[in-house]
């Protein structure tokens, strides 16, 4: 099937997916270098004291980093399916974008307002803050690309 112009080409969400994967990788590096777990683990423990049902785990650095690398590799491996505009990947893509949008907003708000717990000190900026704009921008781009690729799917 030949297309007469670039604008006539069916849209996919592959580039946006890949950019969010790369932003996620940059965020993991940012958090690792800035000692994110020194903020995360005490915050989780403080939440558990107030709410024993709180489901978030505490981590050792090695298991945390290996887990995030594995998750990142998994998402990167799905890029060819995003480039094909795979219908089955779309719900996961929306979830992926939402999680990283909220993650970026959380790091930004933590830097702006500090810790909600008096016993937990948040350094300024919060670890992971510098890559948060990448997460926010890439997740918004993925949301937009998902929407556009849905519209182009209906017209093609």
User: How confident is the prediction along the chain (156 residues), in pLDDT tens digits per residue?
Assistant: 444 444 545 578 999 999 999 999 999 999 999 999 999 999 999 999 988 898 999 999 999 999 999 999 999 999 999 999 999 999 999 999 999 999 999 999 989 988 777 877 777 899 999 999 999 999 999 999 999 988 665 434
How many whole angstroms separate alpha carbon 125 and alpha carbon 16?
27
For 93-115, what is each residue's pLDDT tens digit? 999 999 999 999 999 998 998 87
How many whole angstroms separate alpha carbon 12 and alpha carbon 17?
10
How many whole angstroms separate alpha carbon 130 and alpha carbon 30?
7
């Amino acid at each position: 099937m030949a297309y007469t112009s670039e604008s006539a080409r069916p849209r996919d969400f592959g580039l946006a997916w890949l950019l969010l994967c790369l932003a996620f990788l940059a965020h993991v590096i940012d958090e690792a270098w800035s000692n994110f777990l020194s903020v995360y683990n005490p915050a989780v423990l403080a939440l558990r004291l107030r709410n024993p049902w709180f489901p978030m785990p505490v981590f050792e650095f090695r298991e945390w980093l290996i887990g995030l690398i594995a998750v990142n590799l998994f998402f990167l491996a799905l890029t060819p399916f995003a480039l094909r505009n795979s219908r089955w990947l779309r719900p996961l893509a929306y979830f992926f974008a939402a999680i990283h949008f909220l993650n970026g907003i959380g790091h930004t708000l933590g830097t702006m307002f500090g810790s909600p717990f008096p016993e937990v000190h948040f350094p300024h900026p919060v670890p992971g803050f510098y890559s948060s704009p990448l997460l926010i921008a890439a997740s918004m781009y993925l949301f937009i690309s998902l929407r556009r690729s849905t519209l182009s799917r209906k017209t093609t």
